[in-house]
Amino acid sequence: VKYLNAYTGTALLRCRRDCQRLLSSSLPLVRHLEGRGQRFPCALRVLHVGGTIRTCQKFLIQHNRRQLQLLLQSCTSEAERQCVQQSVLSCSLAEEQPQSGEEEEEDGTE
């Protein structure tokens, strides 16, 4: 597993090229995941097969954008639409400022 997002229910799996068909055909047969003594029901499906992790990441970005557009279109009121838009904007990543003592020296040595 190279990427897992519990909020969207998306996982990025990496395998060798010759094992791809076996993995793709076996994922829909998984009905439960077990961990820490608990059993979780699930339904797995293949959304995309790519040659590199980068192309898969690009696909996930496009897929999530399409899902957000569908979510916004299903809003029944303007207040609900504003709430969804505000939630999306609050999820953006902020750049962290380096703490004192962690900055790199001017000549490039650490």
Cβ atoms of 46 and 27 within 8 Å: the answer is yes
CA angle (9, 13, 19) in 5-degree steps: 140
The encoded tokens of residue 96 equal: 């962290």
Q: Which residues contact 5 (CB under 8 A, 6 or more apart)?
A: 11
As a whole number, the mean pLDDT across the chain is 82
Q: What is the mean pLDDT of residues 49-65?
A: 91
Cβ atoms of 56 and 50 within 8 Å: the answer is yes
pLDDT value of residue 22:
95
The encoded tokens of residue 106 equal: 């001017």
pLDDT value of residue 5:
84
pLDDT digits (tens, 9 = 90+) for 31-40: 998 988 999 8
